[in-house]
Amino acid sequence: MYVVHPNPAKEILTVEKRGLNDERRSKRKTQSHSYKLYNFGGKLVLESNLSDRTDIYISELPKGRYILKILMGKKDEAHHIVIE
């Protein structure tokens, strides 16, 4: 349900709800979705709530591989992320 870009990323990682045009985005109530970003060692490094489009500022994080877990209740998603 979400698209994550760019990947690999350097400064900002954008998480967007898939399939919503601008008009629908502005009229739609935001559901209670959130994200958790883990390093590959399993340590939680960032977490917050999501809107239809969320920018995650990652420039302070060490380079490497991460897992972005998007929590949506019954259907969670996981994305492999590379920070350069």
Which CATH number, 3.40.50.300, 1.10.3470.10, 2.60.40.1930, 3.60.15.10, labels domain 2-83?
A: 2.60.40.1930
pLDDT in tens, 43-56: 999 999 999 999 99
Taking residues 16-41, report their average pLDDT: 74
CA distance 66 to 83: 8
Task: Name the nearest CA neighbour of 38 among 18, 24, 58.
Answer: 58
pLDDT of residue 80: 97
pTM listed for this prediction: 0.84
Examine residue 62 and say whether the peptide bond preceding it is cis (omega within 30 degrees of 0). Answer: no
pLDDT in tens, 58-74: 999 999 999 999 999 88
Domain ranges of the chain: 2-83
Taking residues 32-39, report their average pLDDT: 95
Contact residues for 17 (Cβ-Cβ < 8 A; gap 6+): 1, 2, 3, 25, 52, 53
